[in-house]
Amino acid sequence: MRVAMIGTGYVGLVSGACFSNFGHHVVCVDKDESKIARLNRGEIPIFEPGLDALVADNVKAGRLSFTTDLKSAVPDAEAVFIAVGTPSRRGDGFADLTYVWEAAAEIADALKGYTVIVTKSTVPVSTCSKVEAIIRERNPAAEFDVASNPEFLREGSAIEDFQRPDRVVVGTESERARNVMRALYRPLFLNDKTPFVFTTREASELIKYASNAFLAMKITFINEMADLCERAGADIQDVARGIGLDGRIGSKFLNAGPGYGGSCFPKDTLALVRQASEFGVPSRIIESVIDVNANRKKRMADKIIDAFGGVKGKTVAILGVTFKPNTDDMRDSPSLDIIPALQQAGATVRAFDPEGMAEAEKLLPGVKWTQNGYEAMTGADGVAILTEWNEFRALDFARTKALLKRPLMVDLRNIYTPREMLEAGFEYHSVGRTAVKPENK
């Protein structure tokens, strides 16, 4: 099949590369000329494990190409995906659909023959109907259906998630469009292991927001439990394991930490609340989740400050600034709240992140960026781990101790155990577990 993917960001590029790997011919379109120029030179504009090889293979096989010219990509395509950004609208938290409307209008002008237009971006309920209305108005003769096909991939494991998803959700009432979607996802459809949820467009649109809101709630819940554990002298890891083994609860997304961030949960929880309020429906649970999470990020800065006994005039080494490991995505990362709060309290911040620094430099002024984690810790008064990159999981404790002025670690991702850190001679503060100090050993 021939596919046009409008928007070549984290979702569009991965989806386009994976569809081409399924054997389809995919043209990825982006209006960002520098992004397309880089892709045409064989460079991958984002960090996503395995993506460079997947793109290179499929470009070489002649199934994957990149252009800024939407009008040349759409006419031949049987399916046109909209995978543009839907950020939070400034001020009110509604999903900003400007890019979606623009893409719909451009697609309308270029349609030729029966085409399924698929919204892969995360969009509020009824967006498909509005996309349909825009296209119908601009091009009344066009033969098309609009379907919803939300994307559930996670940055950092995006290719695996796309190729082996928990489910594929397709919202359309058109049998013709359903057949196009079945053909597109044929390798997954055939292997019988992937459940397909065929539903209405409205349900499909809501499934995506409800999924993200639920996951954000699960994280926020375990974070509150972590606070209780710290006070009560219980270990959150044990509590999480104990509740996660209950099949009704499940063990995933029960890692206590600095609060959720990233390109999806913060904006999607806000957008869900706004949608519900437009329909006059209360969404008090998700409102609380948003509120609790926002406070948490601030409190994590205080946790570091308290552990250091104040940071005025002190140097804090930070390991990891992306919202999670294996991505360079800095959108809504907890570090964007925590680091400025430390600086405001008088700290000098030395930081290292394996992939996020190019973007982080633009967002976090005044930080001294280093070549590696050990350089960040050199001469610092202590270290705080904000992102659980693998390379921070096996620090050389003797070297770490020798570099720091004081053997002090604040681990907001619980990648070490209090016992091993105590044995290594560190004062160690983590999340949802009692802090340990060598003198109390």
> Residue 325 is encoded by which pair of tokens?
């490991």
Site string for ligand NAD, 241-280 (x = CB under 6 A): ----------------------xx----------------
> With respect to ligand NAD, which residue has the nearer C-beta, 203 or 215?
215
The first and second tokens of residue 64, run together, are 């994957």
Residue 63 contacts residue 20 (beta carbons within 8 Å)? yes
Of 17-25, 83-91, 170-178, 313-321, the segment contacting ligand NAD by CB under 6 A is 83-91
Q: Considering only residues 25, 35, 296, 433, which one is a binding residue for ligand NAD as defined by CB under 6 A?
A: 35
As a whole number of angstroms, the distance between CA 373 and CA 263 comes to 25
- Interface with ligand NAD includes 149 (CB under 6 A)? no
Window 118-147: residues binding ligand NAD (CB under 6 A): 121-122
Question: Using the rule CB under 6 A, which residue among 10, 22, 265, 323 binds ligand NAD?
Answer: 10
CB of 242 to ligand NAD, least distance (A): 30
Residues between 88 and 107 that touch ligand NAD (CB under 6 A): 99, 102-103, 106
Tokens at residue 14, please? 């991965």
Please report how close the Cβ of residue 124 comes to ligand NAD at its closest, in angstroms. Answer: 10
Which pair of structure tokens corresponds to residue 427? 């004062």
Q: What residue number has its CB nearest to ligand NAD?
A: 9
Distance CA 70, CA 432 (A): 50
Which residue is associated with the tokens 């290719």? 159
Bridge partners, residue 137, by sequence: none
Residue 84 binds ligand NAD, judged by CB under 6 A: yes
3-state secondary structure 75-124: CCCCEEEECCCCCECCCCCCECCHHHHHHHHHHHHHCCCCEEEEECCCCC
Q: Smallest distance, Å, CB 17 to ligand NAD? A: 13
CA distance 378 to 369: 12
Q: Are 154 and 162 in contact (CB under 8 A)?
A: no
264 is catalytic: yes
Active site residues: 264
Which parts of this chain interact with ligand NAD (CB under 6 A)?
6-12, 29-32, 35, 70, 83-86, 99, 102-103, 106, 121-122, 151, 153, 155, 263-264
